[in-house]
Amino acid sequence: MTINPNHICFTTSSTISEISKPLFDSSNLNFFSYGRVFNKNNCFVFHNSNTLLENWFKLEAPAPSCWSEGVYLWDDILTDDMKRLRHELNLDNGICIVNHLENYTDIYAFNSPLNAGSSMSLYLNEMSSLNKFCLYFKDQASKLIEQAMADPIVMPYAMVNYANGSKQNDQFNEKMESLKIKNYFFNDKYNGIKLTKREVECLSLYLKGETSHEIAKQLSLNKKTIDTFLTLIKKKFDCRTRSELFEIVWNLGILKSNGWISV
């Protein structure tokens, strides 16, 4: 498929590079992209490399939204043609972060030059910082995102229904999902604090800006129970406000870019 070269996804590459400057200046990364897939096969993608984006659509390579939520190495999801192009563009050691939300899927991609082996250490050890950059990018590019949502690219269904995608990790995920966790324990200066699964769910929604009434509705509980959960959580972390809780959870490095807590 071919895309109009005047589409916003192609005309904003320099802006994307500018927004990504803090990321590039502080690491050996040289590539970032943010994409969204919604309404089954509508999408937009912001890149700092138009050549890679153009060929992705030209070759009708599978969209990463095919895969289950998680972090993927580029080598695991790229077609052979895309792998060859990646090397021609001096891109290697790439990862994709796939976040499936209620009405759309967010996809973030990071990459570094060939032979930049330290990138893997960055991915392993600084994922919370990468997640923070994802949140920063969505804030800085909010107006561009609104414009792109109003003029999406329509992908062939083959790109978003790749047969080997979403089932790739199903067996592993099903096994891990079957493990029963009664309490979540924290580290660092909050060592010894524990939250129940319900408290973690409640805290995640609270930090996303939901009210007690909205949380109660989503978790099928009554508002009084939610208020009790929030009071106990604040007491455990010795804080009073939502912003104080957010700062604590953020500093613990367990807040994912989609707003949910990972412990």
Average pLDDT of the chain is 86
Q: Are 216 and 222 in contact (CB under 8 A)?
A: yes
SS3 32: strand
Nearest 10 degrees: Cα torsion 93, 123, 203, 243: -110
Q: What is the pLDDT of residue 177?
A: 73
Domain positions in the chain are 8-172, 183-251
For the cut 70, the answer to whether the pLDDT of residue 70 exceeds it is yes
Q: Which CATH architecture has domain 183-251?
A: Orthogonal Bundle (1.10)
Encode pLDDT of 78-134 as tens digits.
888 888 888 888 888 889 999 999 899 999 999 998 877 667 888 888 888 999 999
Exposed/middle/buried for residue 235 (C-beta within 10 Å: 0-12, 13-18, 19+): exposed
pTM of the model: 0.65
For the cut 80, the answer to whether the pLDDT of residue 200 exceeds it is yes
CATH 3.30.450 fits 8-172, yes or no: yes
Exposed/middle/buried for residue 64 (C-beta within 10 Å: 0-12, 13-18, 19+): buried
Rounded CA-CA distance 9/1 in Å is 15
Encode pLDDT of 165-192 as tens digits.
555 566 777 787 787 777 888 766 777 8
First to last CA, the chain: 41
Q: Are 52 and 85 in contact (CB under 8 A)?
A: yes
Rounded CA-CA distance 260/69 in Å is 12
Q: What is the pLDDT of residue 168?
A: 53
Rounded CA-CA distance 98/96 in Å is 6
* CB burial readout 97-108, b (16+ within 10 A) else e: bbbbeeebbbbb
Looking at residue 188, the DSSP 8-state letter turns out to be G
